């Protein structure tokens, strides 16, 4: 069986390991948009592709490697990657499966959800200082809108050079997560932040501990909602996904 696993996330690493362990005669290609994400797959993938793929490149991989199943385990906010994967699979007659981390919405008067970044940043204007916990990609946009003195950002150590072009070093916290509720709480308190900015990224992305830590610190929580996309087939349980693949593959063999 030939599987293309689009990953780059922690849960895609777990999924890849389980696929390797539980499926026989598996040829697995793993894709990530970064070198760091590609490193997650070095113990279970036959081929690792460490770059963003456009629609035509994705179609070529499906065709050249005779892919049976594409499993889309990209980040929930990588909406264009998922759209391309769905379209490429349709055009090349390949089975598409979405695998996504579980997500539990937290309801509280201090937790505010926003459908887009513009409305979130408009709300953030009202705070003296915010703790940004939503990845390097949108950091410049946040700082340009709020001003560098109002923003403290937590980024991966690998992202520090980029972050230093956006913020002074005293406003950068370089750490590899995820993080406990307590650590989140004390970082927010130590930096004197009145609110945090984060994404609705699911439990494996540390979302719950970010929110609970902020609430215990007395801070508001500004959350960018996960984009809505209709997936043809969807799983958030690894065992059920593998059971589905086994059943479908065995049926096709017979």
Model pTM score:
0.80
The pLDDT of residue 222 is above 80: yes
Edge to edge, the sheet with strand 220-224 lists: 111-114, 220-224, 195-199, 130-132, 151-155, 172-174
Domain of 95: which CATH number? 3.40.50.720
Instruction: Find the mean pLDDT for residues 13-42.
Output: 88
Say if residue 147 is in the same domain as residue 242. Answer: no
- The verdict on 93 and 182 lying in the same domain is no
Q: Cα 111 to chain center, whole Å?
A: 20
145 inside domain: yes
User: In the chain, pLDDT over 70 holds for what percent of residues?
Assistant: 96
CA distances from 226 to 17, 79, 151 (A): 26, 9, 23
Does residue 57 belong to any structural domain of this protein?
yes
How many structural domains is the chain composed of? 2
Average pLDDT score, the chain? 91
- Residue 187 sits in a domain whose CATH number is 3.40.50.1220
Within a domain: residue 106? no
Task: Examine the domain organization and report whether 175 and 199 are in the same domain.
Answer: yes
Q: Are residues 130 and 206 in the same domain?
A: yes
Radius of gyration over alpha carbons of the chain, in Å? Answer: 20
Statement to judge: residues 66 and 155 lie in one domain = no
> Exposure of 72 by Cβ count < 10 A (0-12 exposed, 13-18 middle, 19+ buried)?
buried
Q: What is the mean pLDDT of residues 137-145?
A: 94
Question: Is the pLDDT confidence value at 213 over 70?
Answer: yes
146-to-123, 155, 198, 200, 222 alpha-carbon distances in Å: 10, 18, 15, 21, 14
Q: What is the pLDDT averaged over residues 94-120?
A: 90
What is the average per-residue pLDDT within 155-178? 93
pLDDT band of 252, cuts 50, 70, 90 = low
The answer on 211 and 135 residing in a single domain is: yes
Domain that holds residue 121: 111-224
pLDDT tens sequence across 48-79: 999 899 999 999 999 999 999 999 999 888 88
- Assess whether 37 and 72 both reside in one domain: yes
Residue 88 is assigned to a structural domain of this protein:
yes
Is the domain of 91 the same as that of 119? no
Q: What is the mean pLDDT of residues 219-234?
A: 91
Any residues with CB less than 8 A from the CB of 244 and at least 6 apart, and which? 97, 233, 235
Is there a single domain that holds both residue 15 and residue 97?
A: yes
Same domain, 70 and 134: no
Q: 191 pLDDT band (50/70/90 cuts)?
A: very high
Domain contains 67: yes
Residues 16 and 51 in one domain: yes
In this prediction, residue 254 has a pLDDT band, given cuts at 50, 70 and 90, of very low
Question: Are residue 220 and residue 233 in the same domain, yes or no?
Answer: no
Least confident window among 24-33, 160-169, 197-206:
197-206
Domain membership flag for residue 190:
yes
Residue 179 lies in a domain: yes
């Amino acid at each position: 069986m030939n599987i293309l696993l689009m990953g780059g996330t922690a849960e895609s690493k777990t999924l890849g390991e389980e696929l390797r362990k539980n499926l026989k005669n598996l040829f697995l290609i793993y894709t990530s948009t970064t070198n760091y994400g590609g490193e997650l797959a070095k113990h279970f993938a036959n081929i690792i592709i460490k770059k963003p793929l456009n629609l035509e490149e994705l179609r070529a991989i499906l065709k050249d490697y005779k892919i049976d199943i594409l499993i889309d385990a990209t980040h929930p906010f990588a909406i264009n990657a998922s759209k391309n994967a769905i379209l490429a699979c349709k055009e090349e007659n390949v089975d598409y499966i979405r695998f996504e981390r579980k997500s539990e919405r937290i309801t509280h008067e201090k937790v505010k959800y926003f459908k887009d970044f513009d409305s979130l940043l408009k709300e953030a204007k009202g705070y003296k200082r915010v703790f940004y916990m939503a990845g390097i990609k949108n950091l410049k946009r946040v700082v340009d809108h709020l001003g560098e003195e109002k923003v403290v950002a937590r980024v991966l150590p690998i992202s520090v050079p980029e972050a230093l072009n956006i913020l002074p070093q005293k406003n950068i916290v370089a750490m590899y997560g995820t993080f406990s509720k307590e650590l989140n709480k004390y970082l927010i308190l130590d930096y004197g932040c009145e609110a945090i900015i984060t994404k609705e990224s699911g439990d494996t992305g540390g979302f719950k501990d970010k929110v609970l830590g902020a609430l215990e610190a007395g801070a508001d929580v500004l959350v960018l909602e996960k984009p809505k996309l209709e997936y043809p087939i969807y799983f958030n349980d690894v065992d059920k996904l593998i059971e589905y693949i086994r059943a479908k593959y065995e049926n096709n063999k017979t």
